[in-house]
Amino acid sequence: MFEILEKELIGPKEYKMVVRAPRVAAKALPGQFLIVRADAEGERIPLTVCDDDKEAGTVTIVFQTVGAETYRMSELAVGEAFADVVGPLGNPSDLIDRPIEELQKMKIIFIAGGVGTAPVYHQLKWLHEHGVDADCIQGARNKDLLIMIDEMRAVCGNLYLATDDGSEGFHGNGSQCLAKLYEDGKRYDHCVIIGPMIMMKFTAMQCEKLGLPCVVSMNTVMVDGTGMCGACRLLVGGEVKFACVDGPEFDGSKVDYDQAMLRGRLYKTEEGRLLLKEQEGATHEGGCGVCK
């Protein structure tokens, strides 16, 4: 059983839980994700790994209550358990495979939006533990939606807060904050962007203007998480990719965000799935049977 050891409300609708899952924790790397089920009848919910403790055999997840299933998850108490915690799934961050000496010479910045802060924290912590100090811009609509600020400050070189309404830190979004840093003379070699789709689209466009290579995490489009349902089908550089098995991270300059957002809206209805199946043919899905 995957016992909940700690539970904390860290935002208006955001929860952080530490869960006992020793086999998952032993293999988990920054950038990967899990599939969680509240009980035997529950839906499969893909969640990126926020943290892991290999010695204690635990993983930390952060989620927002946006529907019935995540609400049911939020109702679980310390001492209760999830029916399933499956993982780690997907590919680790591309930073993990680079030599530490190379990373230590790089100037890296992360841009986190909303609960995208959770997977950004995992990567920042891993870099920090290996002697690499990266900067981070953490953005939200207002100060009440900024999460894990103290934890983030502990693992990055500089943490820049940005709020759309100016209630905390820079008055504007993460993309605008990045542009301001460049105006002030800052320069970076690599950028990792994790957050809502629309935020990643415009921040990737900003990176392109600045000549800054960037990576985005497309975990937001995943449903099944195993390459079976086809929900996370993307066009990346004109090629068909599936976020859960080919990603979740991709070159931010090559993702067709508009197609991904339109497809996401269509995929929610049976009629939309039938239309997508007709348009996409053999690349539509991998055999889950949802659209048959």
**DSSP codes joined into one string, 26-55:** HH--TT-EEEEESSTTPPPEEEEEEEEETT
Check whether 128 has a pLDDT greater than 50.
yes
Alpha carbons 91 and 30: distance in angstroms, whole number: 9
When the candidates are 3.40.50.1370, 3.40.50.80, 1.20.120.160, 3.40.50.620, the CATH number that belongs to 94-217 is: 3.40.50.80
- Predicted TM-score of the model (pTM): 0.86
Per-residue model confidence as pLDDT tens digits over 11-41: 999 999 999 999 999 999 999 999 999 988 8
Q: State the pLDDT at residue 270.
A: 46
Q: What is the pLDDT of residues 153-182, one digit of tens each?
A: 999 999 999 999 999 999 999 999 999 999
C-alpha–C-alpha distance, residues 47 and 45, integer Å: 6
Instruction: Report the candidate in 79, 184, 194 with the shortest Cα–Cα distance to residue 137.
Output: 194
Please check the confidence at residue 52 and state whether its pLDDT lies above 80.
yes
Name the CATH topology of 2-89: Elongation Factor Tu (Ef-tu); domain 3 (2.40.30)
User: Where exactly are the structural domains of the chain?
Assistant: 2-89, 94-217, 221-248+256-292
Q: What is residue 54's predicted lDDT score, i.e. its pLDDT?
A: 96
